[in-house]
Amino acid sequence: MESTYIMVKPDGVKRGLVGEIIKRFENRGFKLLALQLMTPSRKHLEEHYSDLSSKPFFPSLIDYMLSGPVVGMAWEGKNVVKTGRMMLGETNPLASLPGTIRGDFAIEVGRNICHGSDSVESAQKEIALWFPNGIASYETPLKSLVYE
Ligand code: UDP
Ligand code: MG
């Protein structure tokens, strides 16, 4: 089964949106495999966003991500990487439909409150980076209620 890395960014944590974001993934039927509140180092964030290091917004992105603690999660489920991105909305919140997390709670790209892995490969890399001690594995009776 596929897993993805979802992170509530510092503005989302400070605005008290952690529960709201967790609730949406729980309600959809996805399974929580890891959860942590932490204050990452600059080096850790530069690693997480290494693909974007040449972008003009990279320094402001890192400063934004250093502005407070983040809440990182690993979620498991069928097609969870792509579905998770759909649930977050577009990178630019103003282009995000109502009903998505960014479309309901954010306005600007540099304050878009959440992160989601963009592919199965980056999800594997990101889960390994943020949860170096591993993630949970367990069965739930919800499985037969959520999947055919
Ligand atoms: N970002 C920004 N300006 C831009 C594009 C992106 O500040 O023009 C920030 C924004 O917070 C975004 C993050 O950089 O979420 C990572 O960019 P990416 O293109 O990976 O978007 P995402 O995958 O988060 O939707
Ligand atoms: Mg991205």
| 48: annotated active-site residue | no
* Reported pTM: 0.98
Q: Which atom of ligand 1 is nearest to the CA of 110?
A: 7
For 114-124, write each residue's pLDDT tens digit. 999 999 999 99
For 41-63, write each residue's pLDDT tens digit. 999 999 999 999 999 999 999 99
Q: What spacing in Å lies between the alpha carbon of 91 and ligand 1's midpoint?
A: 6
What's the ipTM? 0.98
Mean pLDDT of the 95-106 span: 98
Q: Which atom of ligand 1 is nearest to the CA of 112?
A: 11
Ligand 1 neighbourhood includes 135 CB (under 6 angstroms): no
Residue type, 100: T
Closest CA to 101 of 84, 120, 80, 79: 84
45 Rama sector, left if φ>0, alpha if ψ -120 to 50, beta otherwise: alpha
Ligand 1 neighbourhood includes 112 CB (under 6 angstroms): yes
